[in-house]
Structure 1
Amino acid sequence: MHFRGGVCVLTAGPSCADKNLIPTKEGCVSKTLPQCPQGTTLRNGQCILAQDPTCPTGQTLHGGFCAIAEPPECPAQGFYAKDNLCISAHPPTCQSDTLKAIGDRCVHVQRPGCPSGTRPDGNGRCISTEKPFCQSGFTVIGDKCVHSSTPFCAAGSTLQNDVCVSSTTPICTSGFLSNGICVDKQNPSCNRGFKLNNNSGFCEQRNQPFCPANFVSRYHKDKDLAVCCPSALDQFDGVFCFKTNPDSSPCPPNSQLVDDKCVSTPGTSPECDGGKGVMIKGNCYSRQPATCPFPLKLQNGMCAYDNGPVCSVGTLSASGTECVVEGPNCPPGAFALGRQCISNVHTPECPAGLRPDGDQCIGTVTSDCPAGTILKDNYCLHPNKKPNCEGSLTLFGDQCVLPITATCPDGTRPQGNQCVSLQNPICALPGYTYSAKEGACVYLTGPVCNPPHRLQNGKCYADVDHQCPTGTILEGQRCISPANCVGDYTLEGDRCVHREKPKCQDPDTQLDEKTGQCISRIVTPVCEQGQMTANGQCVTQAICPSGLVPYNGYCVSLVPLRCGPGLRLQGDQCVLEKGPNCPPNHRPIGTECISIQEPKCPPNTLLDRDRCITASAPDCVIMGVCPEVA
């Protein structure tokens, strides 16, 4: 037995009195199956006879019924039976010779017409048997006439990104081409003791920041913030300066006790390099612009020339890396659009009266249906007339039927296209009846169980219930016993808990029921003259050092942040007012001095990024294929 869920559970579980019984949720089930008469089998809780049922003479078993060979008959000549209806051999007709019955509608014998060479498509349009066409040398693609040849460029250039690019690249009169500028091999230089910062483009030197007297520099890494705190406070949390372990005595004059800490707002931001430096991640850096030898200038972290790349053929591209020439070109009467030559004169054409629609020529049907009819589904439909049937016949779908059902011989009834017997199939042995569900003869009394068992859901159950040991009860499929605690203990969940509550030995303490600990009783503090209570403590009015004033319990500086000569305040940092300097004929861009002179390319070429592309227009010859470009 084991303890689970507040009860004692027997490990062995319930059992049945007879070893031939099996305990289940429904009860004790016999291992012996229900018995059926000899010659039958147990199936779905019934005894099924192996011998098939029979039908009277002249009838056969079909679909669970006894049916005769003759189909249902209709009482009148000229009708045939179908689906219990007597259908006339004569189809329905319309009253006029110009109308004919199609389904349950009267339509005109005249079909709606389309122009010669077209056909109706069923949606009120005439579709031409011919396709749209273009002039010679062009093919219909979408709604455009496209030439069989593709755009081409002149010799010495290739088609790239829909422009003709010269095979010659831009050249630099000095240095080498890099990302559209002429760059020298030597790197920018800094003065002794300084190092180039590629991100800022400045030469930087790390120095020691300084704060006013009686203040020290503190840096908060997560907020990337450096401040000057009173020297008595050794910590900065990103908002306040405080002391890690304050003394038992009151805090320094420029702070006060808040949540066991001596707290003061930071006084000012530290300065470095006589106000000329800049604070970066708590460190002070002096800055100087990087330089390059004349006539180079700093650009993108490299020493570049003023005169940029040029093209010998074509014009320099916007990126400065390619030479672009005129083009691409197409045969006469066409223009380049992407990788296709499109006709600028003609669009796809169709025969007269039709218009192009994709790859078809279409036109609106000129309804020539006779008066009183409407065009619908490619027929001239009479909207107010239905097909008629002779005499007392009625229209059913597209057939004329008698208002009576088909008949069958006595003792049978129509079902589908058969006459089936009113009697069920016959079982050969007494005590059996035919089951349409099983399609076989079943025993009337059903299967039986040996006494004292009873039949339930096709199984034999004992009349006795499960048995559990003395002192336990059956709960579901478990034998359980309620758990008890002895003496003055009560059961709470899975524990025996004493009724007596804990007590505190010290009379000046009391039990905290939430934490289970003895805590001091709440007393009102008595403060000295000039002091006041705050959060259970005696505090005095805040006294701040010179230049600081109390605000919301903190000492706040009213002096704005300042920077030294030649520097300006940016956020909480002091940065130089002027940018980097470059040699004559150079301009600073990023971390580089870039030459003012543009790149040059050979005559008749243009600079395009790092390439010189030709500016001459490609020639074109109409032919089946395009000539290869050299």
Structure 2
Amino acid sequence: MSLLLRVGLATVALRVAADPTIDNLVPAQYGGIPSPPLGYMVDNMRANSGLGYPSPAKSITLSDIIPQVDSKGQSRCCPVGTINDGTGCVFQESSVCEKGTILQGNVCVSVDGPQCPGNLKFDGKICRSDEPPKCPGLSQYNLATNQCESSSGPKCPPTYNLDKGTCVSDSPPSCPIGYSEKNGLCVDNFPPVCHGVNQVYDKGSCVSKDPPSCPQGTKPQGRKCAGVVPPVCAGKARLDRGHCVLAPECPEKYKFNTWVCVREDDPVCSPGVFKNGICQADPTCPDGYTYDAIADTCTYVTELHCSSGYKIFTAPSGAKGCCKEGTDDFDGTFCSWEVTESECPDGTEYKEGYCRHPSESPSCPDLYDSVDGRCVKRTVPRCTIGSYNKGKCILGDPTCPTGSQFNGKECVLIERASCPDGSRLVGDKCISLDQATCPQGQRQEGDDCIHEESPKCPPNTILDNGVCKHPDIPICKSGTNYLNEHCTLPTLPTCPKGSMISDGKCVAIRPPQCPEKHRYCGATHTCVPTGPPKCPEGLVWDRYHCVSRRPATCPEGYTRVGPTCISKNDPRCKEGFVFDVKSQGCVSKDEPKCPEELSFDGTKCASPRSPECTHEGTTYDPKTQSCIAAPPGCPEGTDFKNGECVLRTPPQCPDGTELKDDSCVAIRGPECEDSLTMVDGRCVSEKPPTCGDGTTWDGSRCVIGTRTSCFNLEVCPPIGAAALPAPSPEV
């Protein structure tokens, strides 16, 4: 059960493999058509919603997984609505659509789809050709850009180079001597100057040569004076993000790990060894077998053997063959023995002093396979304890020492880590309740000590970004203007005739030139013909492909709807069943059968009789689903109100009953006879209703499944969690 709890929430498509664990749920086949991959199934369900019949996943819980017995009497746990076919849990197969079609919503759709003439292909909308069109002249079709392009690219005038679709001059923009081009302007190579006393130019301002001053033992830090000595923590505490912190402490053989104390040693497995979060042991093989880790099987190896009257021989080449008894030599093809006469037994021939015959191939006993000249028999490894899974025996969770518990990886101490006196555990640190101290006249701000006084600047200056700024404006030489921290000329940089400045380059005004009957395409920086590509007769160019003027068609008996061919024959069910769109299957017209004296109420087999009340003087109330006695009585002179005898004594109920919501309710609840169980106020059989041959119970009806569905398996985690982090204190 612990393994199931780790599943959490999992969306599964059904086909349970031979191992009846939840991990092995995979798609099943439906309608005789191989199952598509899960991603296709989900997309297909969304596609069907366009027809108005979406197929959402059905939520199930562990209570919906029940034992199912196959034809051999073998049991397997399967979800409600599936059957055990001996290899897994599958949907009852049915063919409600004719061959070559599949069910989508409430119609049968052709698996082939609309057809196109010739070698054209249907792309979901039109018939198109995958062959490229013919291009005019010497141009060639470019599949990447879907256009015809000249084999020779665009050309630029002399002294210009093609750069990202523009012709760029070899000569950069020019400015007078002493000036450089910057952002399309001619900028003085020398910065602006400040003529004030004790001033210097810095980043667009006139600033004092003297930096801001702070009291002794501090230094400027922005608009504050920070101490050269950080805050000091008492004892072994260290400063961390403005707090004095110490390391959390754990008991012996435990270490602190982020939030909790964890055991230094691995969890204990008895039997088995702890590995990858579980207790496991090596599988065993029957006597004489050896374990093959690569193939994950037990193997038994024996030699090849020959039929009666033959003996196995090995040729110099390594080949093995079966030769008749009395053979002296085997060359890989023929068995031979030396003779003095030319007469040889039947089935042999004489050659150069030898009788010989072709060898027979050696074979392996039944249930053995021939592998590399040997006979190999395989069987599944077995576990003396635990369950076998992928080359190991799974024994379950390990044990942890008293006071700790296993969290799926290690042993975690249930108690929180401890902290030294005067500190408290917050997250992964022990925060000291004592603040760090700073020198007199300074206060703590984070990891710094800040002086009460601010940095001071010389008169007529202001503190800004760590410097003392003057109000004076930087000065440029005559004929230039101050702009964006530079001295610039009023005239722009110059470019060669026929070009203009752009992004610091001289770019030709005219676009690149193309050959005759071609034009320049700015999107692809290529030369394209002025006319469109040519398509074969009957096809037209749609800017991407050569497409047919005629639409794709469906075979006789089908109607085209969008990208599908819908059969004119509706889904059909055998006699006694009707097609149900919601379940996408055939539903029995007859109600499920229930045991004698029980009737089907729509979901369960229920008794028509109400549950019996065993306590004398009580009757069953279907509204409250409890056994109710006569109204409670109060002593003389009191009134019954809101479940109480007001002013004197509480109301009295007969023995064996208790007061609930103004009624006397039997302490012992209602009961059902025999093997029935009370559910929602009715006596219900624990066994599900039975259905006719070829149908299965899906939780509400007898159906014949026609397609794969998806189940959402919802399982709750265990209540509570150990060693949760404490709330952060206000420090």
For the aligned pair, the TM-score class normalised by the smaller chain equals: 0.3 to 0.5
TM-score (norm 2): 0.36
TM-score (norm 1): 0.41
The structure whose Rg is larger is 1
Give the number of the structure with larger relative contact order, counting CA–CA contacts within 8 Å between residues 6 or more apart. Answer: 1
